[in-house]
Every structure is written in structure tokens, then in C-alpha cells.
Amino acid sequence: MLQRIFERLRKTERPLLCTEWMARTLGSRFETHLPLLQAERIGSWHWGLVRGRTQTHMPWGSVEGAPEPGTWFHDILYADGTPYDPAEIASIEASLGTSSRMGNGRSKE
């Protein structure tokens, strides 16, 4: 589906920047979408980094006081810097051609 959207937008002959692409509970994942964005040379913005006050780890429509979701929506790291999912960090690093020590943290709850 994302590929079809990109094909349609390419007809504008303008640079593309995808700002709403990451939503784990809707099937968007770093390991699937980041390589596609790179292959298509489309810039991307991920606005959830650390679980915190903005509560972007919660899915859209969550009510105040809702329990911690089994699958986070956006965020990548806990407040202490450990990864939500070390395997996901590894896939991000592989896509970007970088490495860090972040893959050795708390496992997904």
C-alpha cells in the first residue's frame, strides 16, 4: 500500500518527506518501512523517541490512565535509555549502517 502511495506522489516531481509512517499496532515497523523509505529516497520523520509525557507509546485514542499497551505505538526507548525492543534497534542500525550498544537492554514487555 505504501508503495502505491509513493508511486502516486512521485508524479508531483517534488521531494517527498513522510511524517506519519510509524505505528506498530497498525503494521508499520522500522524493519519493514525504513528500508522502503531508504530505497525510494524518501525522507522520513519519526516523532516518538523516548517514552515520556507526550505518551506516544500509547495508541491513538487511549484514555488517561489506560494500562501500558503490550505493543508500543511510536516510542523507541524507555526513559532510562534502554530500548523498547533491542531487535528493533538492531534493524534501525542495519538500515542506517550504524551500530551502538543500545541493543543490550530491557526486552519487550
pLDDT score for 102: 55
- Sorted by where each begins, the domain ranges of the chain are 25-61+69-103
CB atoms within 10 A of CB 91: 17
What are the φ and ψ backbone dihedral angles of 88, each rounded to 5 degrees? -65, -40
Query: Model confidence over 18-74: pLDDT tens digits?
Result: 988 889 998 899 999 999 999 999 999 888 899 988 889 999 889 988 998 999 999
Helices in the chain by DSSP H: which ranges? 2-10, 30-39, 86-96
pLDDT score for 98: 74
Residue 109 has pLDDT above 50, yes or no: no
Residue 108 has pLDDT above 50, yes or no: no
